[in-house]
A = this chain, B = another copy of it.
Amino acid sequence: MTLNRKSTRPLMLVTVLMILAAMAVLVVSCRNNAGGPSTNAPTAGTTEDINAIAAARGLTPQDLVNAAKTYTPSGKHDEYYLFASGGQSGQMYAIGLPSMRIIKQLAVFTPEPWQGFGYGELGTLRILREGGLGADGKPLTWADTHHPALSETNGEYDGQFLFINDKANARVAVIDLRDFETKQIVNNPITLSDHGGTFATPNTEWIIEGGQYAMPLGFKYSSIENYESDYRGMITFWHFNREAGRIVPEESFAIELPPYWQDLCDSGKLVSDGWVFCNSINTEMATGGVELGNPPFESGASQNDMDFLHVINLKKAAEVYAAGNYDDVNGFPVISLDTAIAEGLLHFVPEPKSPHGSDVTPDGEFIVVAGKLDPHVTVFSFQKIMAAIEKGASDFDPFGVPILDFDDVMEAQVELGLGPLHTQFDNKGYAYTSLFLESAVARWSLGGSFDKLNEDPPWTLVTKTPVHYNIGHLVAAEGDTVSPDGTWLVAMNKWAVDRFMPVGPLLPQNFQLLDISQPGTNMPLVYDMPLPDGEPHYAQIIKADKVKPWDVYPEVGWDSSTMSVWEGAPKQGEERVERDGNNVTVYMTAIRSHFTPERVEIRKGDHVTWHITNIERALDATHGFALPDYNIHVSIEPGKVVSFEFDAVQDGVFSYYCTEFCSALHLEMMGYMLVEPSDSASAAD
């Protein structure tokens, strides 16, 4: 590409008439929203440059506006963090808005060598090991991450912690936003599949993990013929200790649910604080078997006109749990379905046809459900639900769960289009719903307390913006809080098809940024961002100034897996190699640009434990450490201490080295681990 910019011509050499003519052209081209900018634009100054560039690159005036909205110059920071699921990568992304640049990939469930997550470092290996062992007895090393949740204080994101679930293996991870590292993974003790998580309650006392595919709880075998009697759904409430920064499994519990496939949940807030709302699919209890001539799941599970929104009284459930009124399933407290019904913890609300999203409005008053096989969103009133529960149900599902009357609790239905899924909110009384089949974002007006915030009549479709393509979730700035910002919205599109340059049969997905700052029908799409790795399901957007990460660790000798100083960390001047029989311990420091020691002489058969402290205090003065052939790589940020261990099973010479280009003499930052043969006579020839 050549930009073909013309040289600048000084204004004073041009006649006044020419100036006026030029200005006219300029204004016309500036106002021409429909076509591209004129290629006859005058050759003077910055706007001319922009016009020439736009002409050469085929940019429309609207493109230039979008560029100005999103371009973030060198050294200026973005205004929001978008924390996105990394889907099957098992990781997360931290993305800056509005530039839509991925600032960091966060290792969560999948070993990641740059960050030293799971590549020998004992702290991270412990997190992975405690986070769940696979059938082979070894740590699970991937996840299908779905729904991140930022920690909240009084219903506002507080920027302290981040949670995310693993649908594939029913796990939940805790990330500390002081250093953006994963600190804990908990493994669901009673089932293998989750989907309706994670969601944080308004003060982060509970992290919600809803299930997905029903199975016998506690990992029992039972024939699929026993589906109705033996298979069950569940919802798990993990208690979070904010001071410790950890989930406390010993203070957590689950509720047994019917073998419908519980899908997405949302936590109540404000008036509905203490309640949880989960929708469900496959209330048909289809068991598949297309190979036997049965209808496949996709049709067997799509017969009913109504599925069930699960209305769960979490506050009361916590009391029932605290009172010891639960069963033990695989060592975990589970409130049985019978107890849940008897104690009034669970009510159903009919919801139209195979819903997907369940989203509570910022005031906590409405629950918006979108049935993907129904063109409407359905809005339920929390007040009406409370009244209906008070009144009592006259209908029950096959398991005895009371079913509230649809007309008693439904506030509104708004026809939006084909395949509505998820809903987000702004500060102008609008809701935004993704339309999967239509590939669009619908803006519609809320009623109730939101009615006066815009000029549109309540409960009406206002506008739609097409997106590309097959939108799943969508996420608005501070969109799950009690006070959304109403600035930006990101459409999380499942297919990219033709949006980006080709990269083979496996395509990226497409995050599209929409400017939702203006009311009414003005909702332009301003940026396309490819997702390079995995299918992100959901994300949350938080104001940048709420997140206050550390620049460097607070003290030298910091163990980031415990978030405290480790007294045993190697100190400058006390580096050494200690031997106790066949056990060798290396105490090493790293500083620009050498490791101490630079020679580690051991013997074949030794068991080696190796500690390294980065004694630097300067921002960004990270060192890495690689040991060839041993699958060991650790990242040692300023102040951090890392530890790893291995058996020296092979004699020879191993060059360890720093893997972060830390100085002009970085390549010289290395050393030799010399492993003498056990039979010391057999040196090299």
Contact = CB atoms under 8 A, between A and B. Distances in A.
Interface in A556-605: 575-576, 593-594, 596-599
Given A68-B64, A87-B114, A528-B74, A506 B622 contact: yes
A462 to B, nearest CB: 17
A274 to B, nearest CB: 28
Q: How many copies does the complex hold?
A: 2
A323 to B, nearest CB: 25
Interface string A23-66: 11011001111000000000011111110011001111111111
Interface in A343-358: 354, 356
Contact of A667 (B261, B437, B468, B670): B261
Contacts of A74: 468, 499, 512, 525, 527-528
A119 B142 contact: yes
Contact of A670 (B70, B291, B297): B297
A249 interface: no
A86 B294 CA distance: 48
B622 A215 contact: no
Interface stretch (A361-369, A403-411, A444-452, A623-631): A623-631
B677 A221 contact: yes
Interface in A399-441: 419, 436-437
**Which of A72, A180, A437, A472 neighbours the largest number of chain B CB atoms within 10 Å of its CB?**
A72
Interface stretch (A235-243, A313-321, A650-658): A650-658
9 contacts: A27-B44, A46-B61, A64-B67, A71-B71, A135-B630, A144-B626, A213-B657, A215-B654, A505-B638
**Which of A11, A141, A281 neighbours the largest number of chain B CB atoms within 10 Å of its CB?**
A141
A22 B48 CA distance: 17
A105 B65 CA distance: 30
A424 to B, nearest CB: 17
A328 interface: no
A388 interface: no
A17 to B, nearest CB: 13
B75 A169 contact: no
Contacts of A67: 64, 67-68, 70-71
**Which of A24, A506, A637 neighbours the largest number of chain B CB atoms within 10 Å of its CB?**
A506
B665 A302 contact: yes
A622 B657 CA distance: 40
A661 interface: yes
B629 A134 contact: yes
A552 B23 contact: no
B500 A216 contact: no
Given A169-B628, A533-B112, A674-B224, A88 B633 contact: yes
Contact of A297 (B23, B87, B594): B594
Interface stretch (A282-290, A331-339, A453-461): A282-290
A61 B45 CA distance: 9
**Which of A64, A67, A290 neighbours the largest number of chain B CB atoms within 10 Å of its CB?**
A67
Contacts of A48: 30
B677 A505 contact: no
A134 B631 contact: yes
Contacts of A670: 213, 288, 297
Given A136-B649, A661-B470, A668-B297, A101 B529 contact: yes
A398 interface: no
Interface in A511-568: 512, 515, 517-518, 525, 527-530, 532-535, 537, 544, 547-553
Task: For chain A, give the interface size range.
Answer: 35 or more
A244 interface: no
Contacts of A683: 220-223, 226
Contacts of A141: 111, 119, 631
Contacts of A372: 664
A109 B251 CA distance: 41
Contacts of A651: 221
A572 to B, nearest CB: 12
A466 B628 CA distance: 36
Interface string A447-489: 0000000000000000000001010100000000000000110
A514 B395 CA distance: 69
Contact of A50 (B65, B93, B626, B637): B65
B81 A73 contact: no
A73 B63 contact: yes
B599 A500 contact: no
A675 interface: yes
Contact of A504 (B44, B178, B222): B178
A553 B505 contact: yes
A533 B500 contact: no
A319 B88 CA distance: 49
A13 interface: no
B93 A113 contact: no
B46 A69 contact: no
A620 B496 contact: yes
Nearest to A229: B684
Contact of A222 (B19, B291, B497, B653): B653
Interface in A72-95: 72-79, 81, 86-90, 93-94
A245 interface: no
Contacts of A530: 96, 101-104
Contacts of A646: 135
Nearest to A28: B45
A152 interface: no
